[in-house]
Amino acid sequence: LTDGRGVDVVLNALAAEAIPMGLSCLAEFGRFLEIGKRDIYQNARIPLRPLRNNASFHVVAMDAIFHGNEELTRRMLEEISGLVEKGVLRPLPYRSFPASRIDSAFRLMSSGKHIGKVVVAFPAPFVPRRGELPDPGFEVKSDGCYLVTGAFGGYGKVLARWLVDAGARHLVLTSRSGASSPEAAEFVAELQNRGVEVRVVSADIGVPDDVKRLFGEIESCGQPLRGLFHLAMVIDDTLLASLTPERMRTVLEPKADGAWLLHKATQETKLDCFVMFSSVSSLFGNPAQGNYSAANAFLDSLAHHRQALGLLALTVNWGVLGGEGYVARNERVADFLARQGTTEISPGEAMGLLESFLRAGSAQAMSIRIDWGKWRQFFRSMQENPLLERIFAALENQESAGPTSDWRSRIDAAAPAEKQAVICQAVREAVGSVLRVKPDSLRDDQPLTDLGLDSLMGVEIETSLEAAVGVALPPTSLMRARTIGQIASLIAGHLGGATVVVESAPVPVQAEAASAVDLDAISDEEIERLLGGESDAEETAAVEDAKR
């Protein structure tokens, strides 16, 4: 290729004898760039003779640059981003193999004939585990204590009351300021009047020394720690271009660092639950909340990491929770959110969903009450999000089919004795369309999870049934209705008809089915940011007026 001249640059990731071979290919003033690690960590030797023609050997250790030189890292990332935007830099090629053909992937790699990366794709959900998870049969116990971080925020108090209602008698409540405000002191007194032992610890959950002191208090309370609920958070919103390391740390430390410190402190403790309140922002993003989205994404990953270690964990991607906080105090803001398609969930519903998720043993669950059609009109950029692809495809199919459906008219026209059969057939049509099976092959008492129903499919079924029969099923109800007969009973109840009777045992909530339903203990500032993306002048004025 070079008529014996050699090459100007060798970019090397190979090890051992491959390095001298690469060096021998260098032309005069050639450069050998080593991006591998093994020979460096093993302190291997290299021959110097190939460098005699003024060739040079360079080690490129990006991890060392990232950790040791923030300014250089920033300049490099800016330059790379610009080249990617211009199309000068393109992604590396890759070949993907399903896990069932992993042997072919290794054969290709060992042949050395591939360019780019070899990827093994596992069917979702896949979480490698070092051991079996404990039975998630969640139950609040009176002979143990429960830790709540961010305990004096709106939903920290909701959660604490829920624990007490469920039988908890020993609580450790923590926040940076403790119970210093009159409202916090009044809340503590309320719990104590119900016979609950309450320990309040002022602690910054993102600071190791504070966490160590916190767990010293827990050990001295005389009751074993049974469960942990991490709600602590700080908001510092700004556009990505304005994010500084300090503003990243402001948000990451209480939420992400705090979660990691709690994980390390309880890694050897047998807990009944380890719950983290995350947000839909980690899945969908949110304008000017890059740092907050990153912090929540860390919580989601930590939950999966803990389950991979054989430890219980749950992260819930909440959206708007009602009953407490900014939205509950501002009716006009709640109306605006409703016009966007997102409506709030009550504290009682939220705690019911949380209990369902805990009993299911899921690592991650999303909970959102939303009208996808309305929401899509406000956030059209989200149509490219792969998480929402099937939902939006179902919406488009309904729109192309037209708004009319004869199922509702057939149900209304049916005799009382026939309504049950007509409703069940309508449900079979919707379920069959989503699950890609023949409707007539579905039994009314068959658990849909046995057919591969997942959470996104559940949303598709809800949307399809709303268009077909004019009934919007509440997410909390559909979580409990896992057969065609049970779904038909819900519809019959909404239509004022007789309940459809199906001879079958109740179907427990499955872990996969528990991964989608409703929303996050978000702050006043979060709601303001949620409203700020695409509102017109009228909506902005409404928000500003509500803030006053």
For residues 19 and 24, give the distance between their C-alpha atoms in angstroms, rounded to a whole number. Answer: 9
Nearest-angstrom CA–CA distance, 360 and 300 = 17
* pLDDT reported for residue 548: 35
Q: Count of alpha carbons within 13 Å of 285, Cβ hemisphere only?
A: 14
For residue 403, give the amino acid letter.
Answer: P
pLDDT string in tens for the chain (548-residue length): 778 889 999 998 888 788 888 899 999 999 999 988 888 888 888 888 888 989 999 999 888 888 888 899 999 999 998 898 888 888 888 888 888 888 888 888 877 777 888 998 876 555 555 556 666 668 899 999 999 999 998 789 999 999 999 999 999 999 998 888 999 999 999 999 999 999 999 999 999 999 999 999 999 888 999 999 999 998 888 888 889 999 999 999 999 999 999 999 999 999 999 999 998 889 887 777 899 999 999 999 999 999 999 999 999 999 888 877 556 666 766 766 777 788 888 899 999 999 989 988 889 999 888 888 778 767 766 777 777 777 777 777 666 555 445 788 888 888 888 888 888 898 888 888 777 788 888 888 888 777 777 665 776 677 778 777 877 776 555 556 678 888 888 888 777 654 444 333 333 333 333 333 333 334 444 444 444 444 333 333 333 333 33
What is the SS3 assignment for 180-215? CCHHHHHHHHHHHHCCCEEEEEECCCCCHHHHHHHH
Half-sphere exposure of 156 (CA within 13 A, CB side): 25
Give Cα 439 distance to the centre of its chain. 33
- pLDDT for the residue numbered 477: 58
Domain 390-513 has CATH 1.10.1200.10: yes
3-state helix, strand, coil in the chain (%, to 5): 50, 15, 35
Nearest alpha-carbon partner for 486 in 465, 468, 501, 464: 501
- pLDDT for the residue 129: 58
pTM of the model: 0.57
Give me the pLDDT at residue 3, please.
81
Residues of the chain with CATH 1.10.1200.10: 390-513
362 SS3 class: coil
As a whole number of angstroms, the distance between CA 174 and CA 148 comes to 6
Domain with CATH 3.40.50.720 in the chain: 7-86, 145-369+520-547
The pLDDT, as a whole number, for residue 522 is 42
Quote the radius of gyration of the chain (alpha carbons, Å).
28
Question: Class for domain 145-369+520-547, per CATH?
Answer: alpha beta
CATH architecture of 7-86: 3-Layer(aba) Sandwich (3.40)
Parallel, antiparallel or unpaired: strands 145-149 and 225-230? parallel
